[in-house]
């Protein structure tokens, strides 16, 4: 079945450590996104990528890094510079819409990151 | 700067009645709006969308209304069912066409049997 797979589902990190969250999609989508969800704040965009080897910062990119070496994969690294990393992280993909032919973004099941 | 706002954190309705979830936005350059449904510890799933050239879109029990002059959209669910209990997010796409979405804070809907 086509879809987006995020792993792991739960992740614990010690303060000062970097950690990488995996996101893989087999939907043949060009665009991929990382969002962060905090209670009462909805989903905020961290990074997005429209094509391989290219990505742009979202609204809250500080303390995060990404790579897009393959169309199927868009891993997110939470670095020690991210001051409040404990959150629910969601990866999504889409076929960027042209004008009004926009298509919705499909989301993975999320990774709950906890800093201990 | 919250460009997409859902001012009601929660809503409780009786099974069989109508649920109305509201969303306001500030950016007149948004050209596409979407509603997502989310259960705890899961990713959001797409529900329904509307482009800015329309004022209504209907899909089964779900209808989205768009009032561009008021920069307001709403999601109507009728009749509401207990399985509809979830967090609902509205999202807007800037017409820059990057595909990225701006989300509201979400409204938790509880449908009581």
Q: What is the pLDDT of residue A104?
A: 81
Q: What is the pLDDT of residue A39?
A: 81
Could you tell me which residues are beta bridge partners of residue A73? A24, A70
Strands B72-77 and B45-51: unpaired
The shortest C-alpha distance from A8 to chain B (Å) reads: 13
Asked if the model's pLDDT at residue B100 lies above 80, the reply is yes
Check if the beta carbon of residue A33 is closer than 8 Å to that of residue A44: no
Confidence of residue B33 (pLDDT cuts 50, 70, 90): very high
Nearest CA in chain B to A4: B43
Q: What is the pLDDT of residue A55?
A: 95
Nearest CB to A104 within list B9, B43, B49: B49
Confidence of residue B99 (pLDDT cuts 50, 70, 90): confident
The shortest C-alpha distance from A22 to chain B (Å) reads: 15
Check if the beta carbon of residue B45 is closer than 8 Å to that of residue A107: yes
Q: What is the pLDDT of residue B97?
A: 61
Confidence of residue B36 (pLDDT cuts 50, 70, 90): very high
Q: What is the pLDDT of residue B2?
A: 79
pLDDT in single tens digits along all 116 residues of chain A = 679 999 999 999 998 899 999 999 999 988 999 999 998 788 999 999 988 999 999 999 999 999 999 999 999 999 988 889 999 999 999 886 555 455 688 999 999 999 98
Nearest CA in chain A to B31: A100
Cβ distance A31 to B98 less than 8 Å, yes or no, reads yes
Tell me the chain B residues in contact with residue A50 when contact means C-beta distances shorter than 8 Å. Answer: 98-99
Secondary structure (DSSP) of B50-93: EETT-SEEEETTEEEEEETTTTEEEEEESS--GGG-EEEEEEEE
Cβ distance A40 to B105 less than 8 Å, yes or no, reads yes
Choose, out of B10, B92, B99, the residue to mutate when testing the contact with A (most A CBs < 10 Å). Answer: B99
DSSP state of A9: S
Asked if the model's pLDDT at residue B105 lies above 80, the reply is yes
Domains and CATH numbers, chain B: 4-112 (2.60.40.10)
């Amino acid at each position: 079945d086509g879809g987006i797979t995020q792993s792991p589902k739960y992740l614990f990190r010690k303060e000062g450590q970097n950690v990488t969250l995996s996101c893989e999609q087999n939907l043949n989508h060009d665009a991929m996104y990382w969002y962060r969800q905090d209670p009462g704040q909805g989903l905020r965009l961290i990074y997005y990528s429209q094509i391989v080897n290219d990505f742009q910062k979202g609204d809250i990119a500080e303390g995060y890094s990404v790579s897009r070496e393959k169309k199927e994969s868009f891993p997110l690294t939470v670095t020690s510079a991210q001051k409040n990393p404990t959150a629910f992280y969601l990866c999504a993909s889409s076929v960027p819409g042209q004008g009004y032919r926009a298509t919705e973004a499909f989301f993975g099941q999320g990774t709950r990151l906890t800093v201990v | 700067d919250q460009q997409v706002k859902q001012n009601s954190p929660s809503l409780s309705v009786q099974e069989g009645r109508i649920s109305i979830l509201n969303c306001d936005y500030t950016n007149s350059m948004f050209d596409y709006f979407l509603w997502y449904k989310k259960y705890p510890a899961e990713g959001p799933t797409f529900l329904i969308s509307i482009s800015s050239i329309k004022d209504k879109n209907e899909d089964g029990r779900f209808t989205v209304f768009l009032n561009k002059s008021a920069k307001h959209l709403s999601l109507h669910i009728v009749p509401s069912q207990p399985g509809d209990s979830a967090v609902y997010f509205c999202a807007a796409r800037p017409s820059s066409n990057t595909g990225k979405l701006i989300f509201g804070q979400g409204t938790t809907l509880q449908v009581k049997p």
